[in-house]
Amino acid sequence: MSQLVTDTAPPAATQPGRPDNGGRQRLVEVVVPVHNEEHVLEASVRRLYAYLTETFPYPFRVTIADNASTDSTWHVAEELMAELPRVRAVRLDRKGRGRALRHVWSGSDADVVAYMDVDLSTDLNAFLPLVAPLISGHSDLAIGSRLSRGSAVVRGPKREIISRCYNLLLRTTLAARFSDAQCGFKAARTEIVQALLPSVEDEEWFFDTELLLLAERNGLRIHEVPVDWVDDPDSRVDVLHTALDDLKGMARVGRRMLTGAFRAPVGGRQRPKLPNGMARQLPSFAIVGVISTLAQLLLYVLLRTVTGPFAANALSLVITAIGNTAANRRFTFGVTGTQGAFRQQIEGGVAFLLGLTLSTGGLALLHAVAPGSSRVVELAALICANGVATLVRFLLMRAWVFHPRRVEARQTRQAHHVQPNSMQADFTQPNTTQPNMTGGQNR
């Protein structure tokens, strides 16, 4: 059972040096989730607290959310809470960043809730631009983005490639419109996030992504802030394990989108309508795409043990491209029967060649820029290239291979091919009901 330590911060209205904007002031709660962070927790919280006290124009509360630490992290959190008046601490007996955020956010009485990673890799000067649109009501959620124009990011090529590939995959398979799902610098209006939380299933690293996808699915507005970000060299995140969990999470969310179950009881803004049929086609295409990508990666790993990276990539793409076209033909675009199937496979081969070009070029570029890259980085580069190819493949299939007018025209031609034959049979068949024309003509 989770243990909640009583908050010792004074009521928001009594905090000195804060303007009263006509009645109750806006309270912002900043959550810092931690797990075995005894070495950095004190310095980071003091730095954050000093920044908020000196420059932040709204009442605030800092909550340390310790999720099942086994070192002295909890002891440090207790000492900080005892010393700093607007710091509290929460201790959970189970690990998981998403679990910690869910626990604090679901019971918060603040107007805006936020969180940031304990290493404070993101420049704190971006915090006020992050929460200001939420306090004004302009936006519902806000995220720091390391991938938008104006951001300044310092990190190694491995994490850069993986991050960009992951976000590209989200956009191409699940139609995400936000640019950076993984930056540990996010905020939301409390009433909005509390309405979304019951529909968010993940309790760990995919929690952020699922929350953002759910918000977009419900028509909520997500504000993005370019950030300055410096990679923490002491990061202990298991990149491969996290990437696999993220792919599983994407597949689960895709299934929920396909069945219409990815909803939350919250009113969002009206969004422009998609072109006719696309709202149904996108989730189905996303599911097929995720399955095809996983199958291609599995085949690539297996083939890579007996051949080089380029041959393994080509063979795995050939096999999965055939299955991908057939599945999209049946489930995404609703085309059944064998008529035109061969031609559509040939046309789908054009998209395959594009994917082969992009992924082969991506591998060549990777090995040129970073010779001797690990298999994990190779896979990340493949995911990135295949994400671009997936988007182009969908556009080609919708606008060319399975365009509704082409399908309808083919069906019309089929009908015309049948009808003239039957009419010809009727006219050429002897008329046994007419009298013999040689014996006279009826007038």
Positions marked catalytic: 208
Which residues, including other chains, have CB under 8 Å from residue 111's CB and lie 6 or more apart?
26, 27, 28, 135, 189, 190
Q: Are 60 and 52 in contact (CB under 8 A)?
A: yes
Give me the torsion for CA of 139, 106, 54, 155, rounded to 10°. Answer: -70
The dihedral region occupied by 219, where left means phi > 0, alpha psi between -120 and 50, and beta the remainder, is left
What's the burial of 136, exposed, middle or buried (CB within 10 Å: 0-12/13-18/19+)? exposed
Alpha-carbon gap, residue 26 to 6, rounded angstroms: 21
Alpha-carbon gap, residue 63 to 80, rounded angstroms: 10
CA distance between the termini of the chain: 103
Residue that the structure tokens 């009826």 belong to = 442
Which residues, including other chains, have CB under 8 Å from residue 35's CB and lie 6 or more apart?
66, 67, 68, 69, 73, 95, 97
